[in-house]
Amino acid sequence: MSKLSYKSRQATIEALKENQYDLFIIGGGITGAGVAIQAAASGLKTALVDMQDFAEGTSSRSTKLVHGGIRYLKNFDLEVVSDTVTERATVHNIAPHIPQPDPMLMPLYDEPKVTFNPLRLQIAMDIYDSLAGVKDTKYANEMLSKEEVLERQPDLMQEGLIGGGKYLDFNNNDARLVIENIKQANDDGADLLSHAKVTGFEYENGKIVAVQVEDKLSGETFTVKAHIVINTTGPWSDTIRQLDGEDDKPAQMRPTKGVHFVVDRAKLDVSQPIYFDTGEQDGRMVFVLPRENKTYFGTTDTDYTGDFEHPTVTQEDVDYLLKVVNHRFPKAGLTINDIEASWVGLRPLIDSNNASDYNGGDSGRLSERTFDELVTLFDGYGDKTVERATVEDKLQSISSNTSERGDASPSSVSRGSDLSVSASGLFTLAGGKLTDYRKMAKGAMEQVIPALTAITGKAFTLVQSATYPVSGGQFDPSAYDTAMDQFANIGAARGLAYGDALKLAKLYGSNMYRVLAYLPVAKDYAEKYDLPIDIAVSLIYAIEEEAVYTPLDFFARRTTLMLFQHDKMLAVKDGVRQVIVDYLDLDADIADAQAKALDEEIAKAELQYLK
Ligand SMILES: Cc1cc2nc3c(=O)[nH]c(=O)nc-3n(C[C@H](O)[C@H](O)[C@H](O)COP(=O)(O)OP(=O)(O)OC[C@H]3O[C@@H](n4cnc5c(N)ncnc54)[C@H](O)[C@@H]3O)c2cc1C
C-alpha cells in the first residue's frame, strides 16, 4: 500500500500535523505536481495538498497536447515557441509513456484573415522544426498540395482549399502526467493529500510560518508548519493571494473558459490531428483530434467569472464549435445529440500577458527586418538562387538567439507564466502551459532553494529535472515500442490478453510490474462485481497507489473511460463504484453520495441539460 492510498490518509494527516516542512505546495495540478517532484527529489521535506482530487482543476481539462503552439509563429514570436518546443521534447523524455509524437495536419484555405498563407506556413514549420531539432528526421514538416491534403482527410471542405502542411506535435494525457509527477514525489518522500483545502496562514514577524488546512472529507482542520509556501493553484491563485492579505492588490489572473466535445469516430473520422482556422474570421483556430475510438474537438476562449470548480458548457459554446466543425467537415452534420462527452477548463492566464492562448491572440514578434530577410531567403530558395544551407544557417541563428534566455528576473521562469513573492514570503507560480510545467517548476525552485537556505541554513542541490523521470517513465524513450511490447508480454504471461496488457502498459509504463502485482486480488473483485480483469486490476492499483477515492477519480482522471470510452464506462460504472466502496470499506452515506456525484457528472459530460 502506498502513502497515496485512502487507507493511509489518516497517517498522512498525522504526518502533516507533526512535521516541520521545508516547502508546502498549495494545489495539485500540473504546476504543483511539477514543483513537488523537483522539491522532493532535491531532498526538501515537501508537502502538497489539493482541495479536490489531484488534477481535478484545469490540468485534466486541456486540449491534451504537449505542443509548441505553432500559431505563435504567425507573428514569429520565437521566444514562446522556443520555450515550448524545447520543453515538448524534455517532457517526452521524462515521461516517455505519456506524450507521443502525433503529426498535425493543417489545411489552408483561401479566405480573408487566415492565420497562415502557404509561404508563412512553410517558414513557420521550418522554424518550428529547427527549434525542435527534428529537421531531416522522419518527423520533418511537409508542405502538401490540395490533393495530398484530401488524400489524408477526404471529407474536409474542398471549397477554397489551397493545400496545407504537416508538422510534428505531441498528444498527451494531461491528468496522468499530473499523477505520475505526484507518485514520484510520493516515492521520494513527499507527503501529498487530496481533498484538503488551504483556508489561511499563520505568521511570525510578518512571515508565513504555517498553513491552515481543512480536511474536506472529515471537516477536521489542522495546521502544517512550513518554512516556504508556494501557491500553485492556477485559476484560484488570486484567492490564495487574498488569503495572504493581498486583497488590495489588483487581480493577477484573467481566467478564460475552453470547452471540448467528443463524438464517435463513426460520426467524424479523422486519421490524424487536424488544426485549422475556424472560417469565422475571428482569428481563432480549432483542433479536431482522434483519440482511441473517438474524435474530439475544441476549443473556445471566453472570459469567465463563474464557479471555478464547476464551469459548464453553454448553448453558445455548442453552437459555435458545431458550426465551425460542420463547416470544415460538410458531410459530418454533427448535432448536439452526437456529443457523447464534453469537458470544460479554465485557462490560468496572467492578465498582464494580454490573456491570449495558443489558438488566438498574439504577443511579441520577430523584427520586420529579420522577417523580410527570411522571406527573401525563402523566395531565393524557391527559385534556386539560394542554397538550402544558407536558409538553415539563418534559422539556426534565430533559434540560438531565442532559446533559454537565462534571464533570472522572477517573472521570466517561462513565457506566459509568472513567479512572484509576497511581503509575507508566499511564492505564487501561475500561468504558463502544461507543456512548460517542468521549466516553470525549475525556475521557481531556483528561487525557493536560496530563500530556504536563508531561513534554515540548510543547503540543497536542485535535481536535474530535465533528465529525472516521472513515475512509470523508467525506460528508454527512444525504444518506446520495444518497451511497451516487453511490458505487455509480462502481462500476457500472467494471463491477460495481449491487447489488454498493451493498453495497461501504455497507461502505466514501467509501473506495469507494480500494477500486475495486484492481479490476484483484482481477479477476486472482477469475479465478485462482474468486471473485466483489465479494468479491475487498473482500479485496484489506482486505489492502492494513485489516491483514487471516488469512481470519478478513476473514470475522469486515472483512465480515459469517462471521455473516450463512454460506452464501456457506462457498462462498468456500477461495478467500479461497488469495488471502491467495498475495498475502502466506505459508509453507506458516502457510497450514496459518490453514486449521485458520478451520475450527475456523467449527465453533465453528456450535456443532458442542453439536449
Ligand atoms: C481549454 C484548455 C486547453 C488547454 N490546452 C493545453 C494544451 O493542449 N497543452 C498545454 O500545454 N496546455 C494547455 N492548456 C493549459 C494548461 O491546461 C494549464 O496551463 C495547466 O493545466 C494549469 O495547471 P495548474 O496546475 O497551474 O492549475 P490547475 O490544474 O487548475 O491546478 C490548480 C489546483 O489548485 C487547487 N486548489 C485551488 N485552491 C485551493 C486551496 N485553497 N487549497 C488547496 N488546493 C487548491 C485546485 O483544486 C486545482 O487542482 C489548456 C488549458 C485550457 C483551459
Q: Which atom of ligand 1 is nearest to the CA of 196?
A: 43
The answer to which of 56-60, 193-197, 420-424 has the lowest mean pLDDT is: 420-424
| pLDDT at residue 359 greater than cutoff 60 | no
Domain 6-59+175-253+416-467 and domain 477-610 have a common topology? no
Per-residue pLDDT of 276-315, as tens digits, reads 999 998 889 999 999 999 999 999 988 888 899 999 999 9
Question: 205 vs 391, which has greater pLDDT?
Answer: 205
Q: Sorting pLDDT into bands at 50, 70 and 90, what band is 398? A: low
Per-residue pLDDT of 548-607, as tens digits, reads 999 999 999 999 999 999 999 999 999 999 999 999 999 999 999 999 999 999 999 999
Query: What is the average pLDDT across 317-328?
Result: 98
Q: Which among 61, 208, 47 has a CA at the least distance from the CA of 556?
A: 61
What are the domain boundaries of the chain?
6-59+175-253+416-467, 257-344, 477-610
Q: Is 8 exposed, middle or buried (0-12, 13-18, 19+ CB in 10 A)?
A: middle
**Cα dihedral value 483, 489, 494, 496, nearest 10:** 100
Fold held by 257-344: D-Amino Acid Oxidase; Chain A, domain 2 (3.30.9)
Residue 562: predicted pLDDT: 97
Distance, first Cα to last Cα, the chain? 43
Residue 376: predicted pLDDT: 75
Residue 399: predicted pLDDT: 47
Residue nearest atom 10 in ligand 1 by C-alpha distance = 434
Residue 370: predicted pLDDT: 58
Mutate to test the pocket of ligand 1, among 72, 230, 233, 299 (most ligand atoms within 8 A of CB): 233
Query: What is the average pLDDT across 520-548?
Result: 98
Separation of CA 32 and ligand 1 centre (Å): 9
Query: What is the average pLDDT across 516-528?
Result: 98
Separation of CA 433 and ligand 1 centre (Å): 9
Lookup: cell for 522: 483484482
Residue 418: predicted pLDDT: 86
| pLDDT at residue 402 greater than cutoff 50 | no
Mutate to test the pocket of ligand 1, among 67, 181, 417, 434 (most ligand atoms within 8 A of CB): 434
Residue 395: predicted pLDDT: 65
Q: Which atom of ligand 1 is nearest to the CA of 198?
A: 42
Residue 253: predicted pLDDT: 83
- Proportion of the chain in helix, strand, coil states, percent, rounded to 5: 45, 20, 35
* Architecture of domain 6-59+175-253+416-467 in this structure: 3-Layer(bba) Sandwich (3.50)
- Mean pLDDT in the chain? 91
Q: Sorting pLDDT into bands at 50, 70 and 90, what band is 100? A: very high
Residue 352: predicted pLDDT: 63
Q: Sorting pLDDT into bands at 50, 70 and 90, what band is 379? A: confident
Query: What is the average pLDDT across 525-532?
Result: 98
Separation of CA 28 and ligand 1 centre (Å): 9
Whole-number Å distance between alpha carbons of 44 and 560: 33
Would the ipTM clear 0.95, i.e. be above it? yes
Query: What is the average pLDDT across 95-102?
Result: 97
Residue 249: predicted pLDDT: 66
Mutate to test the pocket of ligand 1, among 60, 63, 84 (most ligand atoms within 8 A of CB): 63
Whole-number Å distance between alpha carbons of 439 and 437: 6
Question: 381 vs 495, which has greater pLDDT?
Answer: 495
Separation of CA 332 and ligand 1 centre (Å): 32
| Protein residues with CB under 6 Å of any ligand 1 atom | 26-32, 49-52, 56-59, 61-65, 67, 197-198, 232-236, 240, 258, 299, 345-348, 432-435
**Cα dihedral value 87, 91, 96, 99, nearest 10:** -80
Whole-number Å distance between alpha carbons of 239 and 249: 11
Class of domain 477-610: mainly alpha
Task: Label residues 22-37 b or e (16+ Cβ within 10 Å = b).
Answer: bbbbbbbbbbbbbbbb
Residue nearest atom 31 in ligand 1 by C-alpha distance = 29
Mutate to test the pocket of ligand 1, among 49, 98, 433, 439 (most ligand atoms within 8 A of CB): 433
Per-residue pLDDT of 104-150, as tens digits, reads 999 999 999 899 999 999 988 998 898 888 888 899 999 999 999 99
Whole-number Å distance between alpha carbons of 272 and 406: 36
